Structure 1
Amino acid sequence: MPQTEWILDVLSDLKTFANANGLSALAEQLDDTKIVAAAEIASKREEALSPTHGQKGQPEPDFGGLGRHQRA
């Protein structure tokens, strides 16, 4: 398990505790929190695997010298 995914288990344990102790609003909030955490973990994983080191793989446009003064 990657080093960041342990937090998902902790959130699940907290939700189980909240449900067992009648803290339904907290349990629902922990569900939302787990979704946010999973999305952020996935985003970080994608950034780490990106060939441009987090720049979403978008090549920069090449305008071929437009707007630049060029001398012959």
Structure 2
Amino acid sequence: MTHNDWILDVLADLKSFASANGLGALAEQLDDTKLIAAAEIASQNEEACAILNGDHGQPGSDIGELGRHQRA
């Protein structure tokens, strides 16, 4: 667990509250927001690992990042 994972718990709590209080559209939006947050956190973690491993900026080190910023 990273130091940014707490936000995923907060978003889950907000979604639960929204669902329990008849705020269906908000609950759906918070679900989408949680997915985006998880993807961004994972991306940051991958970049941090690459830097720690000395791979950042090396030739061929960005092969795994192809299409990373595409949105569905």
TM-score over 0.5 for the pair? yes
- Find the counterpart in structure 1 of residue 16 from structure 2: 16
TM-score by length of 1: 0.72
SS at match of 1:2: coil
Amino acid aligned to 1:2: T
Question: Where is the helix percentage greater, Structure 1 or Structure 2?
Answer: 2
Amino acid aligned to 1:15: K
2:61 aligned residue (57, 60, 72): 57
- Find the counterpart in structure 2 of residue 37 from structure 1: 37
Percent identical across equivalent pairs? Answer: 64
5+ unaligned residues in a row in structure 1: which ranges? Answer: 59-72
TM-score by length of 2: 0.72
TM superposition outliers: structure 1 runs of 4+ over 4 Å: none
Query: Equivalents in 2 of 1:44, 1:27: separation in Å?
Result: 26
Q: Bigger relative contact order, structure 1 or 2, given CA contacts below 8 A and separation 6+?
A: 2
> Computing the radius of gyration over CA atoms, which structure comes out larger, 1 or 2?
1
SS at match of 2:61: coil
| Aligned residues between the structures | 56
C-alpha RMSD over aligned residues: 1.5
Q: Which digits, 9 at most, give the CA deviation of each residue in 1:36-72, with x for residues without a partner?
A: 000000000000011216xx814xxxxxxxxxxxxxx
Amino acid aligned to 1:29: Q
